[in-house]
Amino acid sequence: MASRESDQLAKVFAAARERYTNQTLGLDTIRDISDAMADRVGKEPEGVTYAEVDAGGVPALWCIPDGCDDESVLLWNHAGGTVVFSMYSDRKVAGHLATAAGIRALALDFRRSPENRFPAQQDDVEAAYRWLLSQGYRPDRIAAGGHSVGGNFAVSLAIRLRDQGMPLPGAILSVSAWYDIELKNPTLKTHAQTDKVLSIASLSVFRESWLAGTGTKHNDPRVNMLYADLAGLPPINIYFGAHEVLVGEIREFAERAKAAGVDASLHGVPGGQHLFLLGAGRVPETDAAITEMGEWLRAKLERSV
């Protein structure tokens, strides 16, 4: 049974969805609603300093816990289907994760769609990674992470780097990731009543905003991680909320990663919604998962020290 706090988070998500799916609202208003909701549900992490930075041409936000390891970093990609949210809406999530891991986090503000379509977002993520390397960070001390579409970008970054012969990050943290742009997994329907954030309709809008007019097919391995070659990727830690519509494709991705020889682990959060990470500091299930993620990141990034 989910905690009272988890149930309350689901109610907040449901109320926000009722507002941002109102067809009479413009994109700017929808973005404001989404940002306000994200700021409301999470608790500010203690002892974290924030500083804006230009990360190779990409706006970004350092999240620096007191006394953290300055030589390791989590490169964090926010949620929002490439349309909503920002580095500010994910500030608290990144701060809690950084605190749990005892490292810095760099939350990216990659370009959003429909103003900027594919591959602008992935280009920004790669540019920020290359910037970290130019700042002296060792690749094996960098973890690529993100949730929702940001979880997709964490994986696609490693694939792009591998295909270019570039050094790969030491680990990937992929949470509630949107991997399947074809929208074909059965849990999109079987979990439609329990997921208070996503639906086939909203995912279709995100997909259109991101890919329309680019000539990119929905099974293109550059955007659809269920078609990507996963061989040679670094260890991947995969989390999902048990109530979200993406459960099926997340499980399928984990199976494909393991079949490709990747050190992949899969964890479900009981009663968890899509975007369950936004409840950091207030929802026990979220905090327990973040503690686990932090321990995993610490172990993977310190193993080569």
Which residues belong to the active site? 148, 244, 274
- Give the whole-angstrom CA distance, residue 128 versus residue 114: 21
Query: How far does Cα 220 stand from its chain's mean position?
Result: 20
Contact 71, 139 (CB under 8 A): no
- Give the whole-angstrom CA distance, residue 75 versus residue 73: 6
- Give the whole-angstrom CA distance, residue 25 versus residue 40: 21
